[in-house]
Structures are given as structure tokens and as C-alpha cells.
A and B are shown apart, each in its own frame.
Chain A
Amino acid sequence: MSVDTVATAPPRTPSPPRRRRSRARSREERVWGTLRVVTIVVLALVTIVPFLYMLVLSVRPIAEVLLDPGRLWVSPSEFTADTYREVLTSVDDGGQGFLQYMGNSALVATVTVIVTLVASILGAYAVSRLAFRGRGASGALFLVVYLFPPILLAIPLFVLFSQLSLRGNLLALAIVYVAQTVPVAIYMLRNYFATIPVSLEEAALIDGCTRFGVIRRISLPLSMPSLIATGLYVFMIAWNEFLFALLFLVERRDNWTVSLGLSRLSGSIEVPTTVLMAGSVVLTVPIIALFFLAERMLVEGLTSGAEKG
């Protein structure tokens, strides 16, 4: 499953049939060129329109939506921000309490990122720089964590957390997320560490620097882009996660994450769809904003490593 094999695979080249068709060429190119433009337009519509729809519904009054469901724009007269007010104010003040849920999500995601990064920096450094028995088995770690369905882990963790009365605890949830993200984080960081010249570290070791000193003063500063990408990816997974949040937090409304809050409320009839759309926007915007800030780093870090999805 290593991506290295992908990059080094030799190109296979069957000899193309020799045929002269220069007259047909321009017509052929036109056909494919048109097809390409059509494809690009369709792809743009398919990816952007659902999010546009989300945004539009979140600022239209529910009565208008029911009256004219096929409209993909907002007329200035019907524009309303009440949906956002309702979704963000706390439950005590008659709202849906999403501000609090966002705080919970941010807390869980931040703790997950910090713990995962610390564990994976140390682990990735060991795997990429130090010789030890079992070094090659780090791929097995990957397999162990991702081969088993999360629902399989959920059963014993549900039991364990119930017995320790840790169910409903946000930090306990973060530890579960750490286990789910640490293999992919190690994978992404390891690839990056491998590109740092060893001679730099050796020089520092000779100058009397300890290994931890090397990690702190040399590896970390040099791998900042990769660290940011990995941190972002982990944040994304933790912020978006749903299953474990559902199993562990469902009875503790004050500890709900945004994802859980939205999914619980979308089942009830009392909350208007437009208000929930505002909730979706609130849930989606932080992730998209973070993503666009660091898109290039994230994409490079991902495709040179592997993925969890």
C-alpha cells in the first residue's frame, strides 16, 4: 500500500499503431475539446451548487422556501439573518445552542491535533531516522487501525467508557480521535522527515545536541509546512467526525459537537429546515476557511502520504 511503489513504477509503453490521420486530427481535437469544456462545467456545477444551495436556503424564510422550492437565489426583500440568530443563541434563550457546540467541537479537535502531533512527531522521527527492531512493521499499524470498522471498536469502547463513566466526556472522545488519526499523521510526517538531509542532524549531534534537541531545533523548524498540513488534516477529521460523537455524547446535550447537534436536530420537526441550513453553514465554514488557507500544503502532504476517509 506504499505510495513509493506508485512513484517508481516503470512506465509501460505498448507501441502505438502507426497510422496517418492528420486530416481527421483537427476535427477529433475539436470534439474532445468540447467534451472537456462540458466536463469542466458539469464538475464545477456539481461541486459548487450544493454549497450555494446551502447558503441560499440559510438566508431565506422557511415560508418562502415552501412556496417556491426551486429558486437558487435570494431576493433582497426576503433576505433574513434570523436563522443564524436562532441557531447560534443558547438553548436557554430559546435558540439551538450551536455556539456552544462549536466550542465543544473546537475543544475536541484542538486537543486531538495537539496530542496527535506530539505522538506522531516522535513516532515519525523514530521510524524515519532510528534503526530498531520492528521498524518495518509501522505499516501494520496503519492496517490495524483502518482495517477494522470503527463500529467494531465502538462496541467495547462504549462498554469501557460506560464503566469508567467517561461517556459524555469530551477529552475521552479526543483520545479516540487520536488513535484514529495518529497512523496517517505518522505516515505524512515520515515522508517529510525523510527529505531532510541527515548530515544536518549529524552535525548537530556532533556539536553535542541531544536527540530531542535535534528534533526540536532541526527537524521541527524544517518541516513546518508538513506539520501544518498534518495538523489541519487531523483537525478536519476530528471536527467532521460523527459516529463516535453520536455513541458517546448523545445523552449529554451540553457536550454535543456541531456535527452531532445538526444531525440530532434535523430529525425533529420543530426546527425549520432553513435554521438547520444556517447550522450547516456554521459547521462547514470553519473547515472550508482553514482548507483554503492551506490548500497547497494540505494537498501535497496528502498525496505524498496516504489517507483516512
Chain B
Amino acid sequence: MPRTDTLARQESRLAYRLISPTLLIVLVVVVLPVIWTISLAFQDVRLINLRDAGFFGEYNLDNFSTVFGSSGFWSSLWITVVYTVGATLGSIAIGLVAALALRRPFRGRGLLRAAMLLPYVAPVVAATFVWSVALNPQFGIVNAWGTRFLGWDEPVPFLSQRDYSVGLFGVDVTVPLALLTVIAFEAWRYFPFAFLFLIARLQALPGELDEAAVVDGTSIWQRFRHITLPQLMPVIALLTILRFIFTFNKFDDVYLLTGGGAGTEVVSIRVYEFLTARTDIGAAAAQSLVLAAVLTVFIAVYLRTAGARGETS
């Protein structure tokens, strides 16, 4: 059928024309830079000899051996993983609790629902600034209240102390204070995102199952555990992977809160330091590549285990 053939060809030509602006921008601003980064990672490039650095230079593995050989990189990678897992789980857990609490209507729910999105919508610079002022040991409200009402002996330097020992049931436990604070911030800022997805799904769930279970005399916890939660699992899986990707690559939140100090130097911040302070572009590129590679491996493993679990059940 030659006629339909030309029509189809016309259609696909039009489609390419329509999508070309998008492709062009993504090509220039994303794909080419990624390829260029790969090339830079294998060359000795500093800010000084940047102008001579072309696409074809002297390729070697020096940057990678520097990166893998430094202990700073490994601890930074570990911090990134802890930070990402903590923030992802934290934001989804709070989001789930919030979605369950706001599931049934009550007076003022609409307003509260909107207010709950504030941390997510507000600019990150403003949010981090409020947090760092509130947590400030000299004039922050948290420490002012903590020492006045909660009987803290002295102000707690939430964002500037790496290790903090707390007495827990008579035992002194050392906790990575600044890292925990940063994770708490991230969970606070992104729980609205999980909340939105979860409450949308919750309200679309059919009510019959729940009603049948009520007739059967099940407890509220049983109904949540065996009826509601399994139906939410697909959304939770989606949220986990989205939040994991975005948090793993995160730069601004930690940078603005601690500047990467006090044991919170995630890889993104390390790359930034190499790029600006040390002007070692090659090593910066190599580290950012390793970051992307590690993320890819995590996602592949996650998808495989999640996929395998989906097949068996």
C-alpha cells in the first residue's frame, strides 16, 4: 500500500520536526557535556591549561587512580550512601504517615494539605537559611527552647559538629550529628512529595476490601498491614527509586547547610571543591563519573531485586 506508506512517512517526518527542538537542547546541554566529561576524566586538565584542552588529548587513567587512591573519596562515597538511604526512607516514611493521617476528611484538611507542601515548594536557599538560623547555637530558636524547656546543658551545634555523644539509657553513644541533621532536613523537605503521590493513590483505593475486613473483625493495624500497604507498594517502589536518584545527585541542600563540613561531604560537594577550589577539572570529572556509575549500579540492582520479587509473588 504505497499511499499509506507515504502518509506514515509524512507523519514520522512531522514527528521528528516537532521533537527536534527538545532533542537539540538536550543534545547540546546534556548529551555533549556528558561525553565531554568522559573525555575530560581521562586527561590531565586544570583550569590553567583549559584553553588548550581539546577533545583529543593525552588519555590516561591518572585521574581515576588519584580518585580511587584517596581515602577522602571513599569516605565521601559512604557519606553519600548513608545520606541518600536515610533521606529517602525518612521522606517516604513521613509522607506515608502524613497521607494516612489526612486520608479521611476533616475541617481544614484542604488548607493543611496545602500547607504540608510548603517545604517542598519553598526555594531551597530560603529553607536552608531558616534551618541554619533556627539551629544556630547563639541565637537559634531550637537551642533557645532546648536549653530553656528541655533542660539541655548547653546549646547543640547541629550543623557544625561531626560527632556528638549523647547519654542514652546511661550509655554514651556517639552519633554523626551534622549528617543526621542534614538527613532530617532532606526528609522534611521532600516528605510532601511522597505524601502527594501516596494520598493520591490512597484516595483511589476501592473501599470494598476494607469494609469486608472490618466485617471480619480485623484490627486497624491488620487492615493497614495486609490490605492498604500492599496496594501502596507500587507507589512506594516508584517513590523510592525517584527519591534515591535525586538525593544521590543532590548538591545544594547539603552545600547550603554545612558547606560539606563536619562529616557531610557528599560526592557532589567534593566534585564542586575539586572544580572550584583545587581547579583540578580532570579529577572532578572522574569523580562525577564514578558517582553516576555507582548510581547506575544501585538502580540496576534495585530494579532486578524488585523485578524478581514481583515475579515470585
Interface residues of A (CB under 8 A from B): 1, 3, 5-7, 9, 11-14, 16-22, 24, 28-29, 32, 36, 39-40, 43-44, 46-48, 50-51, 53-54, 57, 65-66, 69-70, 72, 118-120, 122-123, 125-127, 130-133, 135, 141, 144-160, 162-163, 175-176, 178-179, 182-183, 186, 211, 236, 239-240, 242-243, 258-260, 262-263, 266, 273, 276-277, 280-281, 283-284, 287-288, 291-292, 295, 299, 302-303, 306-309
Q: Are A157 and B101 in contact (CB under 8 A)?
A: no
Bound-state CA distance A159–B279 (Å) is: 12
Q: Is B188 an interface residue (CB 8 A)?
A: yes
Q: Are A17 and B222 in contact (CB under 8 A)?
A: yes
Given A123-B18, A159-B50: A303 and B200 within 8 A (CB)?
yes
Q: Are A18 and B130 in contact (CB under 8 A)?
A: no
B residues less than 8 Å from A131 (CB atoms): 8, 11-12, 15
Set B29, B98, B238: member contacting A157, Cβ < 8 A: B29
Between-chain CB contacts (< 8 Å), 25 pairs: A1-B241, A13-B209, A13-B227, A21-B217, A44-B112, A47-B118, A50-B134, A69-B139, A119-B21, A123-B21, A130-B11, A130-B15, A144-B26, A145-B26, A147-B245, A147-B299, A149-B248, A156-B33, A156-B36, A160-B36, A175-B25, A182-B22, A236-B121, A242-B124, A242-B256
Q: Are B19 and A54 in contact (CB under 8 A)?
A: no
A residues less than 8 Å from B51 (CB atoms): 163
Q: Are B209 and A122 in contact (CB under 8 A)?
A: no
Set B37, B126, B238: member contacting A284, Cβ < 8 A: B126
Q: Are A36 and B246 in contact (CB under 8 A)?
A: no
B residues less than 8 Å from A307 (CB atoms): 193, 242
Chain A proximity mask over B114-129: 1 for CB below 8 Å, otherwise 0: 1111111111111101
A residues less than 8 Å from B14 (CB atoms): 126, 130, 211
Bound-state CA distance A295–B114 (Å) is: 7
Q: Are A48 and B126 in contact (CB under 8 A)?
A: no
Given A18-B216, A70-B148: A141 and B133 within 8 A (CB)?
no
Given A239-B123, A280-B129, A303-B197: A146 and B139 within 8 A (CB)?
no
Bound-state CA distance A138–B16 (Å) is: 12
Selecting from B60-68, B162-170, B172-180, B288-296, the interface stretch reads: B288-296
Interface residues of B (CB under 8 A from A): 8, 11-12, 14-16, 18-19, 21-22, 25-26, 28-34, 36-37, 40, 50-51, 53, 97-98, 100-102, 106, 112, 114-127, 129-134, 138-141, 143-145, 148, 188, 190, 192-193, 196-197, 200-201, 204-206, 209, 213, 216-220, 222-223, 226-227, 230-231, 234-235, 238, 241-243, 245-246, 248-249, 251-252, 256, 267-268, 271-272, 275, 281, 284-285, 288-289, 291-292, 295-296, 299, 313
Chain B: minimal CB distance from A41 (Å): 10
Q: Are B21 and A156 in contact (CB under 8 A)?
A: no
Tell me if B's interface is mostly helix, strand, loop or mixed: helix
B residues less than 8 Å from A291 (CB atoms): 117, 121
Residue of A nearest to B133 (CB): A273
The 9 closest A-B pairs by CB, nearest first: A70-B144, A179-B29, A132-B12, A149-B249, A152-B288, A132-B15, A156-B33, A130-B15, A126-B18
Bound-state CA distance A54–B131 (Å) is: 10
Q: Are B125 and A276 in contact (CB under 8 A)?
A: no
Q: Are A273 and B139 in contact (CB under 8 A)?
A: yes
Q: Are A147 and B118 in contact (CB under 8 A)?
A: no
Q: Are B193 and A122 in contact (CB under 8 A)?
A: no
A residues less than 8 Å from B209 (CB atoms): 11, 13
Q: Are B292 and A148 in contact (CB under 8 A)?
A: yes
Q: Are A153 and B34 in contact (CB under 8 A)?
A: yes
Residue of B nearest to A35 (CB): B101
Given A13-B209, A32-B220, A262-B129: A156 and B252 within 8 A (CB)?
no
Bound-state CA distance A145–B28 (Å) is: 12
Chain A: minimal CB distance from B33 (Å): 4
B residues less than 8 Å from A158 (CB atoms): 275
Given A9-B234, A273-B133: A149 and B284 within 8 A (CB)?
no
Q: Are B288 and A6 in contact (CB under 8 A)?
A: no
Bound-state CA distance A16–B101 (Å) is: 23
Bound-state CA distance A16–B212 (Å) is: 9
Chain B: minimal CB distance from A172 (Å): 10
B residues less than 8 Å from A39 (CB atoms): 97-98, 101
Q: Are A123 and B126 in contact (CB under 8 A)?
A: no
A residues less than 8 Å from B31 (CB atoms): 144
Bound-state CA distance A242–B131 (Å) is: 17
B residues less than 8 Å from A9 (CB atoms): 231, 234
Q: Are B238 and A299 in contact (CB under 8 A)?
A: no
Q: Are B130 and A50 in contact (CB under 8 A)?
A: yes
Given contacts A22-B217, A307-B242, 18 further A-B contacts (CB under 8 A): A11-B206, A16-B218, A16-B222, A24-B219, A43-B116, A50-B130, A50-B131, A50-B134, A51-B122, A70-B145, A119-B21, A122-B21, A145-B26, A147-B296, A156-B37, A160-B33, A242-B124, A259-B124
Chain B: minimal CB distance from A193 (Å): 12
B residues less than 8 Å from A288 (CB atoms): 118, 121-122
Q: Are A66 and B139 in contact (CB under 8 A)?
A: yes
Q: Are B123 and A182 in contact (CB under 8 A)?
A: no
Q: Are A243 and B281 in contact (CB under 8 A)?
A: no
Set B26, B34, B217: member contacting A152, Cβ < 8 A: B34
Q: Are B275 and A155 in contact (CB under 8 A)?
A: yes
